[in-house]
Structure 1
């Protein structure tokens, strides 16, 4: 009898003592038992990078769908429900279908050690292989070289968005080492779109591409993108495109848009797809303005934003985004994981925040205690205190400044709880 997906997912959490254990051996074993579904996918676009890979993938999907294509998409982590990770021919996987493929993977695995991300990735690949579509978008979970998504021999295209320092306990502690992991998605002869990179990252990517004969399409060399009077100006060797600015908020989305447009053009898509990518893209918890729910009801005069960025590069883009918004006292409600560079995250925000309230992330064993988050904020020169949760933090802010701009930030896991419980 098939159980609910939540029950099966809970069991899968216990199949390996570590949440992250980077190797592909367990993937190959289970995929073979499942009949190698990774060989039966519609043409694959594989997306890696430290920042921007989810937004870039969302734009590529919006563009392909605007051109009439049916698109599978796999992404992680989810925000409110696991089903968000798997999109089949444009629609989120149904509960019945998800439970079915999870059941099959659990049975085929036979209780042998495998991480949660690995076995659920196998389930996604199984569902995608069985559902007709025109393209498959795979977002790397962590790194690239040994990531569970890196099992497709010959994708149609790969994309590497900006590489920065993150997940150092798994990927290395230099830009060059981390870029080496990201560049692990490059395949022999397969073109790769490369966003603007630190010079150390670019050198590593270029060296691996040369060894594999993988043609690179590099920002500022093969393609250029900029915002121009509220529009998006893109040009490459085939010409100039005048497009709407991407619907996602933030100056960094211009660069992500350029990578998405380059990918679409390499896939043979025209201007209609590129314009649709800009107009139709949605990607929650990336500088998302909340417009309804209990938090809005509790603070009718406030402007509430949600952002799940969690590393120093994300904070730098957040800093730039805040500087472009109309002046307004800005208060943060911040929860972070204890695996992150919290000091590096706080530093770029110091000039924008009137005050920060630190909160724990509910249900997360690796949450940083609120008091520690507060101490990091104060160390960056941000006045800070703590609260038990986001709702009580909001109430205290509204009591002080009813018309404040309130930024809920620091973690995708916190953002997911907000969307699930309050929006």
Structure 2
């Protein structure tokens, strides 16, 4: 047995390693619920060690931060919209292939498969490549050591936690596959995020900043914006959407501190008239940020068309990229028979607001409307209350379903790649959150029929057994919920 943090994990023989083994090993790096609760109180104090430790982990895998310069990284942070911004940026840049021969994208979280987090040219890496590269990183970390007088938390047999390991894996995959453009979405924050060992990004993007991850980033917009602004690098232009005044002032201060040119991005006039592939009004600002990032990236690499000096114009490649962008689980519509599924993994106050507004624009007057909702870690009652208040009297849910994020009804189990160990299993089994949500919704709208169901499969089955001719279902509150629902619909 090998000690991994506070967990034990069996050694794999080189002959028996499979994709399933890789997923099991990766899941062992998740922080379990009890441990997470214990360390959360000191998490912000531990932040100062994050970047030195990440550089050391990278060294043990065989790289230096300077090695990553050749990936030509576009680095994106924010609270809401950073994933969509990455998707738009990729879609635009993909129109410049083969000049950009291999474009890698590193994002989180995943919906159905962890391989979604590490994609090349629009496709998640294969199971075979994931397995091979995973165990190459695993073995290098097992076979190397750190100076424990400098890195006391990185002793023999210890592995980095889940997200850090995946970040290391993405570096190794992109370097091994000779990626020449990479788009990196920050995990949490920026200053201390594991992606922030990048030294020379081609462009830095900051999407809308709001209150989230307060135990790690701070409790005010100024503190959170300071943290997000940590990905700015001297010599690289930074682009930000319009922010609330406290956040903007904090970003400006960081730009001065780092001697960075910070540019505020409005909605681009061409973008405002373009039918976006990720079809929602609020996506126009994320698409505009992506336009600035893609244009700057191409300029740095010497590929931006010289005849497009007018900032109010866009090359046809940009427009095509915007029209064909895709980001599953975000403003996604799936029609199956008489049921229209409207999916958005919104899980913060700001994202719930815009996702609910998006649903309101799609709602049919004559359709039966159903809400499927879950949020296991944040203030779920507050989120569902916000959702209800935004819809007001204009859109009414005939039924609401509160279910857990467990995928399948037989045995109430989770798909291996959707396993989340940082929740209380007892609370999930007892459906504590779901019952509380049902009680909250009764106060908000006693006319809606309320259902509490143990799994996502149960919720999907319930909807499909309804006899109504026209049904619209909003699925929101959690990307884990949306991901699990996509898995069930695939079945």
TM-score bucket of the superposed structures, by smaller chain: 0.7 to 0.9
2:96, 2:63 → 1: CA distance? 30
CA change 1:101–1:26 in 2 (3 A) is farther
For the pair shown, the structure with the greater C-alpha radius of gyration is 2
Query: Do the aligned partners of 2:380 and 2:437 also contact (CA within 8 Å) in 1?
Result: no
Superposition TM-score, scaled by structure 1 size: 0.87
3-state SS in 1 of match to 2:271:
strand
1:332, 1:163 → 2: CA distance? 27
How far is the alpha carbon of 1:90 from its aligned partner?
4.1
Q: Which residue of 1 aligns with 2:147?
A: none
How far is the alpha carbon of 1:107 from its aligned partner?
1.6
Q: Which residue of 1 aligns with 2:131?
A: 99
Consecutive unaligned residues of structure 1, counting only runs of 5 or more, are 234-242
Superposition TM-score, scaled by structure 2 size: 0.76
2:467, 2:121 → 1: CA distance? 48
1:108, 1:114 → 2: CA distance? 12
Alignment deviations for residues 44-96 of structure 1 (CA, whole Å, 9 cap, x no partner): 10010111111110110010011222311111111111111111344321222
Query: Do the aligned partners of 1:310 and 1:340 also contact (CA within 8 Å) in 2?
Result: no
How far is the alpha carbon of 1:162 from its aligned partner?
0.2
1:289 and 2:333 aligned? yes
**How do 1:84-233 and structure 2 match up within 5 A?**
84-110=116-142, 111-220=157-266, 224-225=267-268, 232-233=271-272
1:265, 1:277 → 2: CA distance? 12
Alignment deviations for residues 247-290 of structure 1 (CA, whole Å, 9 cap, x no partner): 11211111111101111222234513311221221100012111
Query: Do the aligned partners of 1:16 and 1:116 also contact (CA within 8 Å) in 2?
Result: yes
3-state SS in 2 of match to 1:190:
coil
Q: Which residue of 1 aligns with 2:148?
A: none
How far is the alpha carbon of 1:208 from its aligned partner?
0.2
Q: Which residue of 1 aligns with 2:473?
A: 406
Q: Which residue of 2 aligns with 1:278?
A: 322
1:16, 1:309 → 2: CA distance? 22
Q: Which residue of 1 aligns with 2:150?
A: none
Number of aligned residue pairs: give it. 400
1:337, 1:15 → 2: CA distance? 20
Q: Which residue, out of 19, 23, 39, partners 1:9?
A: 23
Q: Which residue of 2 aligns with 1:371?
A: 435
2:479, 2:93 → 1: CA distance? 26
1:394, 1:104 → 2: CA distance? 39
2:372, 2:363 → 1: CA distance? 20
1:79 and 2:111 aligned? yes
CA change 1:183–1:102 in 2 (3 A) is same
**How do 1:55-66 and structure 2 match up within 5 A?**
55-66=84-95
How far is the alpha carbon of 1:184 from its aligned partner?
1.0
CA change 1:313–1:129 in 2 (3 A) is same
Query: Do the aligned partners of 2:204 and 2:236 also contact (CA within 8 Å) in 1?
Result: yes
Q: Which residue of 1 aligns with 2:402?
A: 358
How far is the alpha carbon of 1:209 from its aligned partner?
0.4
Query: Do the aligned partners of 1:15 and 1:112 also contact (CA within 8 Å) in 2?
Result: no
Alignment deviations for residues 120-139 of structure 1 (CA, whole Å, 9 cap, x no partner): 21011011112223311011
Q: Which residue, out of 370, 380, 385, partners 2:451?
A: 385
How far is the alpha carbon of 1:8 from its aligned partner?
2.5
How far is the alpha carbon of 1:336 from its aligned partner?
1.3
Q: Which residue, out of 347, 359, 363, partners 1:310?
A: 347
1:14, 1:326 → 2: CA distance? 42
How far is the alpha carbon of 1:369 from its aligned partner?
2.9
CA RMSD of aligned residues (A): 2.3
Q: Which residue of 2 aligns with 1:343?
A: 382
How far is the alpha carbon of 1:401 from its aligned partner?
4.1
Q: Which residue of 2 aligns with 1:34?
A: 61
2:215, 2:83 → 1: CA distance? 22
How far is the alpha carbon of 1:374 from its aligned partner?
1.8
3-state SS in 2 of match to 1:158:
strand
Query: Do the aligned partners of 1:46 and 1:185 also contact (CA within 8 Å) in 2?
Result: yes
How far is the alpha carbon of 1:402 from its aligned partner?
4.0
2:201, 2:385 → 1: CA distance? 38
How far is the alpha carbon of 1:146 from its aligned partner?
1.0
CA change 1:361–1:91 in 2 (3 A) is closer
Consecutive unaligned residues of structure 2, counting only runs of 5 or more, are 1-13, 143-156, 306-314, 407-413, 415-419
Q: Which has the higher helix share?
A: 2
1:385, 1:278 → 2: CA distance? 39
1:407, 1:175 → 2: CA distance? 30
3-state SS in 2 of match to 1:132:
coil
